[in-house]
Amino acid sequence: MEFSSRQKQIIDASIELIARRGIQELTIRNLSEMVGISEPAIYRHFASKTEILLALLGFFGEQSEKTFKEIASRKASALNKLQAVFEHHFRYFGENSSFSAVLFSEEIFRNDSALSSKMFQIMQGARSHVLGFVREGQMSGQVREDIPADQLSLILIGALRLLVTQWRLSGFSFELVEEGGRLWEALLALLRV
């Protein structure tokens, strides 16, 4: 999916808007004000509001997929790859605090089936990549095998999500990267044989 610069501008503004003021404030009016064009002009670039959200999710999905693939291709141990996943996400959200609001608020996309299935797809992508790394770790003997890989993945992702959510709800009141580092240490201790 290629987006024009105007389209990118609109997507960025959407993310900002959702992050700063919540999904209920993502209106065409607010969007057009933020971009600096008129309301109808928005419709020159996207057929509907849903289309904007779809593009937004597509953007996240692609980024996520790309990142996971890059990490997967590294010549490194499974635990190092998992660490990279954690570090990447904490750094990424830390720098783009707006994104977490969108990515961890599935509720937002409930009403439209196209949106919610796109969301589901992104979540599944991340899940299966993490699962792959965990399995890799178990096969290489780095990760404990007494617990099923899918449970471990669930625990890993659940912890990551909750930390980011707490960070966001607390008004970004702590250093996500640092706190994330501590969380990873804890998880590492749990995973290791």
Stretch that binds DNA, among 31-39, 83-91, 115-123, 152-160 (CB under 7 A): 31-39
Please give the backbone phi and psi of residue 2, each rounded to the nearest 5 degrees, phi first: -105, 135
Number of residues that bind DNA (CB under 7 A): 21
Based on its alpha-carbon atoms, the radius of gyration of the chain, rounded to whole angstroms, reads: 18
The entry of DNA, a copy of itself, none that residue 177 binds, CB within 5 to 8 Å by partner kind: none
Q: Closer to DNA by CB, 3 or 92: give it.
A: 3
Residue 37 found at the interface with DNA (CB under 7 A): yes
Nearest approach, Cβ of residue 154 and a copy of itself (Å): 6
Determine the Cα–Cα distance for residues 148 and 135; give it in Å rounded to an integer. 9
Determine the Cα–Cα distance for residues 193 and 191; give it in Å rounded to an integer. 7
The entry of DNA, a copy of itself, none that residue 49 binds, CB within 5 to 8 Å by partner kind: DNA
* Sole binder of DNA in the list 20, 21, 29, 144 (CB under 7 A): 29
Determine the Cα–Cα distance for residues 102 and 100; give it in Å rounded to an integer. 5
The entry of DNA, a copy of itself, none that residue 169 binds, CB within 5 to 8 Å by partner kind: a copy of itself
Q: Closer to DNA by CB, 48 or 96: give it.
A: 48
Q: Rounded to 10 degrees, what is the CA torsion of 134, 139, 141, 145? A: 70
Q: Closer to a copy of itself by CB, 74 or 151: give it.
A: 151
Chain residues that interact with a copy of itself, rule: CB under 8 A:
21-25, 101, 105-108, 110-111, 116, 119-120, 123, 146-148, 151-152, 154-155, 157-163, 165-166, 169-170, 182-183, 185-187, 189-190
User: DSSP for 106-126?
Assistant: GGGGTT-HHHHHHHHHHHHHH
Determine the Cα–Cα distance for residues 193 and 188; give it in Å rounded to an integer. 10
Angle between helices 49-73 and 113-139 (to 10 degrees): 10
Residues that bind DNA (CB under 7 A): 4, 6, 25-30, 37-45, 47-50
